[in-house]
């Protein structure tokens, strides 16, 4: 009689069981993914409905300053201080420009490409850019508080 070699039967049987369970698990996960994908709503790419109230600051950041806007703002520029002299040509303003730091500007100076200071007063700087003029004022947080002078 022939004797069967059963010494390798258990490892082979375990290998077959592990392989079949792995295949079954992969099939089950694939089915679950398919079911989830078929339940998803169809993607629609529609623009939001236009609203009548648009924020002017948002439009200014997106498209720049409109021509004739007297209260135009410069993005990345903050007015830190103004020194007004009796002779307006000697007046100076201290500006903080992103990437450059603090910059001293006089009337007629170009402090950004295409942007020139045209007037410096005690609380704002008037500038001209692309044919329109604008006004750079102190931020509410950086507003200088006048001190009382001694008699």
Q: How confident is the model at residue 16 (pLDDT cuts 50, 70, 90)?
A: very high
Residue 113 belongs to some domain of the structure:
yes
Residue 91 belongs to some domain of the structure:
yes
Residue 149 belongs to some domain of the structure:
no
Residue 145 belongs to some domain of the structure:
no
Of 5, 11, 10, 133, the C-alpha closest to 72 is 133
Residue 110 belongs to some domain of the structure:
yes
Q: Do 31 and 75 reside in the same domain of the chain?
A: no
Of 100, 125, 124, the C-alpha closest to 112 is 100
pLDDT averaged over the chain? 77
pTM metric for this prediction: 0.46
Instruction: Give tens-digit pLDDT for 43-82.
Output: 566 666 666 666 666 666 666 554 444 445 577 888 888 8
| Average pLDDT of span 35-44 | 72
Residue 58 belongs to some domain of the structure:
no
Tokens for 139?
């931020």
Does residue 130 or residue 63 have the better pLDDT?
Answer: 130
- The CATH number assigned to the domain holding 105 equals 2.30.30.830
Q: Do 26 and 78 reside in the same domain of the chain?
A: no
Q: How confident is the model at residue 28 (pLDDT cuts 50, 70, 90)?
A: very high
Domain enclosing residue 86, as ranges: 66-137
Query: What's the structural domain count of the chain?
Result: 2
Q: Do 30 and 76 reside in the same domain of the chain?
A: no
Q: Do 34 and 70 reside in the same domain of the chain?
A: no
């Amino acid at each position: 009689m022939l004797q069967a070699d059963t010494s390798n039967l258990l490892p082979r049987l375990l290998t077959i069981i592990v392989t079949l369970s792995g295949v079954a698990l992969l099939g089950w996960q694939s089915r679950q993914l398919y079911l989830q994908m078929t339940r998803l709503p169809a993607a629609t790419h529609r623009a939001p409905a236009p609203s009548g109230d648009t924020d002017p600051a948002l439009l200014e950041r997106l498209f720049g300053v409109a021509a004739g806007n007297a209260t135009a703002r410069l993005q990345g520029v903050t007015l830190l201080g103004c020194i007004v002299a009796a002779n307006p040509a000697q007046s100076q303003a201290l500006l903080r420009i992103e990437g450059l730091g603090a910059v001293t500007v006089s009337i007629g100076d170009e402090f950004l490409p295409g942007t020139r200071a045209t007037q410096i007063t005690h609380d704002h700087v008037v500038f001209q850019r692309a044919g329109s003029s604008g006004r750079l004022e102190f931020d509410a947080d950086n507003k200088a508080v006048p001190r009382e002078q001694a008699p």
